[in-house]
Chains A and B, each alone.
Chain A
């Protein structure tokens, strides 16, 4: 099993460009999450999807949109990238609510916005 996969691993964007980060899990998990991690800030939740067909905002949703395409896939879109969105992005999944269950993380996408 691959677990949680993310593409791309690295990306450089110019300010104003758009892109979609892809995430897929093969563990049949109900819940999926997008985090960003910045130095000194720890992991911050951008959006999550408690189950297929639902999405909710996390702590820092501004500038992002998400799509839970099916049970396996959860994508994160930056419509107009800004330098403040330079970060490492992690996708994660869990069997049910992450407050009670272990989360499994993907390897991350390192995004630089110039």
Chain B
């Protein structure tokens, strides 16, 4: 089993839709969780950290489920500009974090 797994997609949704991605992790000792966004042919950039209590930033909500070992990202009212690849990153147990392979989102008019 891979350490961090994501559905590669693509998720193809219309503008205004709500879309959710999940990311599962195998190391129960993991302590840190992040979502990064990567645009085509660009570098990854932090979208949000994921806290135990969950957190929200505008249209984006991130949640952590330790019992089932997954994190989620919910995007409400999707915009064309949300089209990107979303990378799940999990840390803990070693110095460096583990990246998932990413989930591709395409928002169409």
Interface of A toward B, CB cutoff 8 Å: 33, 40-43, 45, 48, 50, 56, 58, 90, 97-100, 102-103, 105-108
CB <8 Å contact, A43 and B87: yes
Interface of B toward A, CB cutoff 8 Å: 31-32, 34, 42-46, 49, 87, 91-97, 99-102
Can you list 19 residue pairs at the A/B interface with Cβ under 8 Å? A45-B96, A48-B96, A90-B43, A97-B95, A98-B91, A98-B96, A99-B31, A99-B94, A99-B95, A99-B96, A100-B31, A100-B91, A103-B44, A103-B46, A103-B97, A105-B43, A105-B44, A105-B45, A106-B43
Q: Which residues from B are CB-within-8-Å of A105? A: 43-45
Q: Which residues from B are CB-within-8-Å of A108? A: 42-43
Chain B proximity of A109: nearest CB distance (Å): 11
9 closest A-B pairs by CB: A99-B91, A42-B101, A105-B43, A43-B99, A102-B46, A99-B97, A97-B95, A100-B32, A98-B96
Chain A proximity of B49: nearest CB distance (Å): 7
For the complex, would chain B's binding face be called helix, strand, loop or mixed by DSSP majority?
loop
Query: Once A and B bind, how many residue pairs between them come within 8 Å at the CB atom?
Result: 53
- Cα(A106)–Cα(B43), bound, Å: 6
Q: Which residues from B are CB-within-8-Å of A102? A: 34, 46, 49
> B91, B92, B96 — which one has the most chain A CB atoms within 10 A of its CB?
B96
Chain B proximity of A44: nearest CB distance (Å): 8
**Also in contact, A42 and B96, with CB within 8 A (given A100-B91, A102-B46):** no
